[in-house]
Amino acid sequence: MEKKIDLRVALFGNPNSGKTTIFNALTGSHQHVGNWSGVTVDSKLGMLKGVKERVELVDLPGAYSLTPNSPDEVVVRDALMSGTFDCIVCIIDANNVERNLYPMIQLLEFSDKPVILVLNMMDEVESTGHFFDIEKIAEALRVKVIPAAAIDGRGIPELREAIVSPPEGNDFKLLYDTTIERQICRILRLKSFEADHEDAHWTALKVLERDPQVMKSLKSKPYFSDLRKIQNSSDRDLGRPSPVHIGEYRHGLIRGLVAESIKHTEKKTDSIEFADAFDHVITNPWVGIPLFIVIIFLIFQLVFKLGSPLQEMIGGFFSWSSIHITQFFASISTPAWLASLIVNGLIAGVGGVLSFLPNIMILFFLMSYLEDTGYMARAAFVMDGVMHKMGLHGKSFIPMILGFGCNVPAIMAARTLETRKDRILTVLVNPFMSCSARLPIYVLFASAFFTKHQGFIVFSIYMIGIIIAVFSARLFKKLFFKEEDIPLIIELPPFRMPKLVNSILHMWLKARSFIYKAGTVIVAGVVIVWFLSSVPFGVEYASEESFLGVIGRAIAPVFHPAGLGDWKIVVALVFGIIAKEEVVAILATLLPTAGQTLSEALHLYFTPVTAFGFMILTLVYTPCFATLGVMKKEIGLKWTMFSVFYGLLLGWVLATLINIIFS
């Protein structure tokens, strides 16, 4: 039964204005908050907490403009135009009113729904000695205005109250100059134009703005060619393109409003000057790029220095329990198959994966902290040149960095890119950004074969991933796309002292999903593998005669040239396509014989050279099902199939080359 919703409310505004922070505060959910644009690319739903009405909130992706440039902005406009919302909350970074008000003015122009304006980040504004005349803004825009600092919870109760008793609809109208208004009149006079459109005045304005979506919807109309003529004559009259003129007109209104409503008191220029000078230094490529590499390197060192002892403790706990549980089972004469399922299957497999939890938590904590300070956006800025050399757009850097966490949201973040070419390229090379599910594989092999240089080996795998991405992007661009690049416009968010809770929360959410995966997908995979290694009944567990052995042996010769021709290794790789964590889980179920640790067992199957080849192979080959699923959604089946084969082939070639050259 569907519950009745009393009100539907949308949160709308520029990227990085604090929408998700406010959404989380209002709904009690834990959506990802990040200090740069492009973090929220999917609309998120939640219910307003602490009121008796049933109010549904939607956290829309950030938008700079309602004349959409990229697919995520199209999503926003379609949502706002669909008329499903009873009220729209427009959230603005008050440090940057001029740019942030732009989409809001556009919103007020086309929607007659009530609008609440939230001036967020007032804590930062006040610390620079600026004050707003709230009344004046409310009067000029004819909306309700709420000052807020979402990060400290300020303004949230007022906002909640305003949402449940929304103001009347808005009747804001922006009057353009006579040239524009005259052209609008000409359009309105076209036969049947007014009858065709519910909001004809707005549609006419959009025609002058050459809004791609509106123009497309008008293509089949008899007056389409007349519209083209009016567009051209309007450009001639204005002496410049009408979209530019209209945009500036709005900016003019906003500038006037800002000038009237911001009051300056004392200025703390010292700190601002310092921040500017600092930005200048770290966004210089000669400093910025080495600094970025050093920071990433330090992160990996920390992941190992802090994580390894914890990892050994957890691993130790699982081997200790498997010994004791085996003894216990023997003492109560449990059937051998059941004991084998629990010890060889579940404890070995799930335990093998869970012991990497500390490394993953540390990685996520550090990444989230860095992201929140605003450093990552600066890294994106310095990497722009590098990205262009790769044949990618500077904005691709954000999906690329997200890829180190998980390729699924990273591929979705590619929606913020404006051209289809950039989106496809970014998505295709994204899996080479090694996700956290692959980290356990590297940690396992690095600690078994490269004891002294674990951190460095794993760091180098990540770097090789980046190099492969660069190489592949250039190759794909040469082969498939030959269009011109568009330049990067990235915003530098302010440096912020991150809230520790935020990073800890982020780390915990990742840990939780990792544990959840261990409890579901991995348990299922391990049980299937255990079953296939035990049938037909009577064969020795995980022997060549088992079903699994037969399947594995059929594929194994393919990987023989890479020195990875043992069927157990092949089975682990095959299951790795379900989820990369399965690789470690399956090796842990299949390789060790009684009393052996996984690391000892690995030495029987791998040499340091083939171990390295295996790490590279798992880095490069076919991504997991979840990734393939979003890939298909974002760039289509054809490109997804291409990615599957390309990864498989390249991974095989590299592992084989490593084996041939180094052994």
List the one residue from 86, 109, 372, 566 that touches ligand GDP (CB under 6 A): 372
Q: Which letter does DSSP use for residue 181 in this model?
A: H
Q: By CB under 5 A, is residue 311 in contact with Mg ion?
A: no
Q: What angle do CA 432, 353, 509 make, to 5 degrees?
A: 75
CB of 494 to ligand GDP, least distance (A): 8
Q: Which is nearer to ligand GDP, 155 or 431 (CB)?
A: 155
* 80 vs 95: CA distance, rounded Å: 25
Q: Binding segment for ligand GDP among 144-152, 283-291, 302-310, 579-587 (CB under 6 A)?
A: 144-152
CB of 196 to ligand GDP, least distance (A): 36
Element (H, E) at 13: strand 7-13
* 72 vs 40: CA distance, rounded Å: 9
Write out the two tokens for 519. 């409890």
Greatest extent of the chain over all pairs of C-alpha atoms, in Å: 95
Q: Which is nearer to Mg ion, 355 or 416 (CB)?
A: 416
**Residue 348's binding partner out of Mg ion, ligand GDP, none, with CB under 5 to 8 Å set by partner kind:** none
Q: Binding segment for ligand GDP among 35-43, 110-118, 180-188, 214-222 (CB under 6 A)?
A: 35-43
CB of 412 to Mg ion, least distance (A): 13
Q: Which of residues 12-31 bind ligand GDP (CB under 6 A)?
A: 15-21
**Residue 542's binding partner out of Mg ion, ligand GDP, none, with CB under 5 to 8 Å set by partner kind:** none
**Residue 21's binding partner out of Mg ion, ligand GDP, none, with CB under 5 to 8 Å set by partner kind:** ligand GDP
Q: Which is nearer to ligand GDP, 377 or 473 (CB)?
A: 377
What are residue 144's DSSP bridge partners?
116
Q: Which is nearer to ligand GDP, 381 or 445 (CB)?
A: 381
Let me know: does 653 contact 647? Beta carbons within 8 Å. Answer: no
Q: Which is nearer to Mg ion, 33 or 299 (CB)?
A: 33
3-state secondary structure 186-211: HHHHCCCHHHHCCCHHHHHHHHHCCC
Element (H, E) at 126: helix 122-127
Amino acid code (one letter) for 24: N
Measured from the Cβ of residue 324, the count of other Cβ atoms closer than 10 Å reads 10
Q: By CB under 6 A, is residue 307 in contact with ligand GDP?
A: no
CB of 39 to Mg ion, least distance (A): 5
Q: Which is nearer to ligand GDP, 147 or 352 (CB)?
A: 147
Q: How far is CA 279 from CA 286, 292, 487, 636, 663, in A?
A: 13, 14, 20, 40, 47
Let me know: does 175 contact 246? Beta carbons within 8 Å. Answer: no
Q: Which is nearer to ligand GDP, 380 or 587 (CB)?
A: 380
Q: By CB under 5 A, is residue 111 in contact with Mg ion?
A: no
Ranges of beta strands (E only) in 248-298 are: 262-264
**What Rg do the C-alpha atoms of the chain give, in angstroms?**
29
* 26 vs 373: CA distance, rounded Å: 24
Q: Which of residues 494-523 bind ligand GDP (CB under 6 A)?
A: 496, 502
| Residue that the structure tokens 């519950």 belong to | 3
Write out the two tokens for 306. 């802090």
List the one residue from 25, 34, 300, 552 that touches ligand GDP (CB under 6 A): 34
**Residue 17's binding partner out of Mg ion, ligand GDP, none, with CB under 5 to 8 Å set by partner kind:** ligand GDP
CB of 128 to ligand GDP, least distance (A): 12
Q: Which is nearer to Mg ion, 413 or 574 (CB)?
A: 413
Q: Which is nearer to ligand GDP, 93 or 566 (CB)?
A: 93
Q: Which of residues 35-64 bind Mg ion (CB under 5 A)?
A: 39-40
* 522 vs 515: CA distance, rounded Å: 10
Q: Which letter does DSSP use for residue 143 in this model?
A: S
Residue 487: asked if its preceding bond is cis (omega within 30°), the reply is no
* 114 vs 258: CA distance, rounded Å: 22
Site string for ligand GDP, 121-140 (x = CB under 6 A): x-xx----------------
* DSSP per-residue letters across 611-645: HHHHHHHHHHS---HHHHHHHHHHH-HHHHHHHHH
List the one residue from 9, 25, 39, 58 that touches ligand GDP (CB under 6 A): 39
**Residue 120's binding partner out of ligand GDP, Mg ion, none, with CB under 5 to 8 Å set by partner kind:** ligand GDP
List the one residue from 14, 17, 20, 396 that touches Mg ion (CB under 5 A): 20
Q: Which of residues 50-69 bind ligand GDP (CB under 6 A)?
A: 62
- Under the rule (CB under 5 A), what is the footprint of Mg ion? 20, 39-40
- Under the rule (CB under 6 A), what is the footprint of ligand GDP? 15-21, 33-35, 39-40, 62, 120-121, 123-124, 149-151, 372, 496, 502
